[in-house]
Amino acid sequence: MKKLLVLLIALALLPSLYALKTRVAVEKPGPVVLTLDEQAVRDEARLRGLDVDELLDHYRDLGVRGLGVYELRASDWVNRGKAVYADGNLLRLIHPGGGFEPGWYYLSPRNPDDLEAFSRLWTLPQHRVAWLERVWIGFPKDVLSLPVGPDQNFILERYRNGNFIVYRPYNSPFRSWPPPLPEPVQAYVFAGDEALGYPDHLGDTARLLKAPVGLIEGAGQKGLSFLARRRPVLRVFSLQAEWQLKLSPEAAAAKYLLAARERGQQILYFRPYPEPAKTERFIKAVTTGLAASGIALGDPQPRSLKMPPYKNAAWVGILAGLALLAMAYPQPLGLLLALTLLLGSFAYAGTQAGPLLAALVFASLGFARPVRGMRDWLIAFVAALAGAVFLTALGSNTLTITGVVPFKGVLLTLALPPLLVMLAHLPEDKPLKELLLEAWNHRVTLGEVTLAAAALLALAVVLIRRGNTNLVPGLELQLRSVLQDWMVRPRFKEIFGHALAVTALSQPWPRWLRAGLLGFATLAEASILNTFSHFHTPLFISLARSVNGAVVGLFFGFLLAGAVWMVRRWLSR
């Protein structure tokens, strides 16, 4: 029966792998566009005493064609001398009895022809006062920060000068609909923490926009997910201005290059450094690195992916793997676990049940069986890669490869497989009551306490800290930096897990201790599935990361196993 199930997995791999050709064809990195923040460039031009257009032409000649142009706000009209703005209390003091209301704010366009346009910008109550041959429009709140529309002439001029226009509109609950939008625009990247039209006009916004929307990684803009499901998407990478200034131009450039090469980012959005020489060093480092990576500069195109129907053959492999996993346990426990995983995946992940089930099953499958030596590490590694093929075939689509819909169940893929593996290694010839009694009466040694403490500390690092957060240990940051300079950086969990697998499989441990070590070692296989669940990462990058993790993990594993062997030999003398 087991051989038949293994054969079914192997047969299901063939159409699943072939289906991945469709994804590989659309996920090649690039072209990307380097994009400057317009407000930051205006500040630089003012401080350096330069003309904004001349400075933008200079950056364009250096390879920076993208320009993030913000929607104008009422304050911009006032600062540019196109309108006069005053507090109603002040106006009432200057002109008592003139009709100015205390607590109101008044705006008066320099050009009388703009008066009606201003009165239609917002849904706020308003009234008008004529004074000093000027008409003032009063509002019950300060409107300086409210949007007034695009600077159409500036956008058209910069487009004609070769810029890739990224328009950045503001959302406001007080703006009238539909808002004015400029032409031409190549992408929309919303300013602030809300998408245009949130929450009541998102459907109108989706119909109004004529260009792709930009998905800023990690920004979490409200309403953006709704629009991204209905409009083409371009992925945007940007460093916070404060963080960028703390990095050298070369260090910042390395992060932008990594984003373009390994995370599918298409709009690389940045702000100039206070020192022009640093900005040019940054641009040179990015453009040189992109060229070395074979990533072209140009107009990014939205990615669209529709996998062929034979991708569903992956379900055959997943269900065969689930049956094989069930056989690793005494019955009816194995059957109950299999049904729980199957039904739980559908209940938790819905349409993503297939990818989640693939991750849970194939991360556990390799070590949830009797193991005898290093050959079993290879079996576990191959099983994880097979699961990655099934996960990717079923989970890849336009929304997942653009990052609009993330993989659901990351924590489950890290927490459940180690438990499943340790459960599979409980002795079958003893009842549960006897096992609990033996564990209760077991004499604990210092070595066991040390191993348990190290394992719990490592598990805390893995589960509490996932991804790039402030909880990343300093040692791991150093290891990341060294590895990233040499290769596609593997995940720390994979290095740690593979190293533990070598230690578990190469030493004569007691059965219970080997089971615990293999449970922790399963984190490597879980991390491989987790790597491929980042669908926006190109497949070959994920494969390289997994292979590099295995190589580096084996290296450290053999070092650790050698150290353990020497300690055991010294203690036995």
Pairing of strands 213-216, 233-238: parallel
- State the average pLDDT for the chain: 88
| pLDDT 10s digits, 250-281 | 999 999 999 999 888 999 999 999 999 999 99
| pLDDT 10s digits, 513-555 | 788 888 888 999 999 999 999 999 999 999 999 999 999 998 9
Which residue from 409, 358, 364 is spatially nearest to 387, judged by alpha carbons?
A: 358
CB 130 within 8 A of CB 91: no
Which residue from 153, 154, 145, 138 is spatially nearest to 173, judged by alpha carbons?
A: 145
CB 82 within 8 A of CB 108: no
Question: Between the CA atoms of 370, 372, 375 and 376, what dihedral angle is there, to the nearest 10 degrees?
Answer: 30
| pLDDT 10s digits, 363-404 | 999 898 887 788 889 999 999 999 999 999 999 999 999 989
pLDDT for the residue 318: 96
Chain-centroid distance, C-alpha 320: 32
Strand-pairing partners, residue 193, are: none
Residue 67: pLDDT over 60: yes
From residue 233, alpha-carbon distances to 136, 166, 227, 251, 520 in Å are: 42, 13, 9, 28, 39
From residue 444, alpha-carbon distances to 82, 394, 437, 450, 571 in Å are: 81, 46, 14, 11, 17
| pLDDT 10s digits, 23-34 | 998 988 879 999
From residue 213, alpha-carbon distances to 160, 196, 198, 347, 538 in Å are: 22, 11, 14, 32, 21
pLDDT band at 2 (very low <50, low <70, confident <90, very high): confident
Query: In this structure, which amino acid lies at residue 170?
Result: Y
pLDDT band at 470 (very low <50, low <70, confident <90, very high): very low
Quick one: CA dihedral 156, 158, 164, 170, positive or negative?
negative
Cβ neighbours around 544 below 10 Å, total: 16
Q: Report d(CA 531, CA 218) in Å as an integer.
A: 18
Q: Report d(CA 221, CA 196) in Å as an integer.
A: 10
Range in 90-104, 298-312, 476-490 the model is least confident about: 476-490
Q: Report d(CA 434, CA 188) in Å as an integer.
A: 65
| pLDDT 10s digits, 83-141 | 999 999 999 988 888 889 999 999 999 888 888 888 899 999 999 999 888 899 999 99
pLDDT band at 424 (very low <50, low <70, confident <90, very high): confident
pLDDT for the residue 465: 53
pLDDT for the residue 471: 46
pLDDT for the residue 355: 96
Q: What percent of the chain has pLDDT over 70?
A: 90
Strand-pairing partners, residue 130, are: 135
pLDDT for the residue 68: 96
Model confidence, pTM: 0.85
Q: How confident is the model over 163-176, as a mean pLDDT?
A: 95
pLDDT for the residue 333: 86
- The domain made up of 33-71+150-292 has a fold known as TIM Barrel (3.20.20)
- State residue 392 phi and psi, 5-degree precision: -70, -40
Instruction: List alpha helices for 425-538, DSSP H.
Output: 432-441, 446-464, 474-486, 492-506, 511-532
Residue 151: pLDDT over 60: yes
According to DSSP, residue 443 is labeled P
For the chain, the first-to-last Cα distance in angstroms comes to: 47
CB 328 within 8 A of CB 369: yes
Strand-pairing partners, residue 237, are: 268
Strand-pairing partners, residue 171, are: none
Quick one: CA dihedral 494, 485, 218, 27, positive or negative?
negative
pLDDT band at 319 (very low <50, low <70, confident <90, very high): very high
- Half-sphere exposure (CA, 13 Å, Cβ side) for 223? 21
Question: Which sequence spans correspond to the domains of the chain?
Answer: 2-26+305-571, 33-71+150-292, 74-139
More confident residue, 58 or 440: 58
Residue 462: pLDDT over 70: no
pLDDT band at 464 (very low <50, low <70, confident <90, very high): low
